[in-house]
Amino acid sequence: MKRFAWAQYYNALGLKKGEKAPKSIPEDAERWRRLALTKKPKLNIKIDMPQRQFIGESRELNDKIAAKWEQEIEKILNV
């Protein structure tokens, strides 16, 4: 995880590994640097991910499912 944190740090700065960082470091790069330098044996990284949208019930979807069922049943019965 520490290697990942260093990679994210350099990525946030827009640098390649081994290049020197500028004097002013953005907040997100500083957060990754702190994670990389921590002495904790296990890191819990929380990344903000948008919630996935649930399709839910819809008349159009139910109609398509029913049509597909009828089509498949007709194939079975006509064989």
Residue 19 has pLDDT above 80, yes or no: no
Percent of the chain with pLDDT over 90: 22
The structure's pTM equals 0.47
Q: What value does the mean pLDDT take over residues 36-54?
A: 78
**Reported confidence tier of residue 68, pLDDT bands at 50, 70, 90:** very high
Q: What value does the mean pLDDT take over residues 6-17?
A: 83
Buried b (16+ CB within 10 A) or exposed e, 13-36: beeeeeeeeeeeeeeebebbbebb
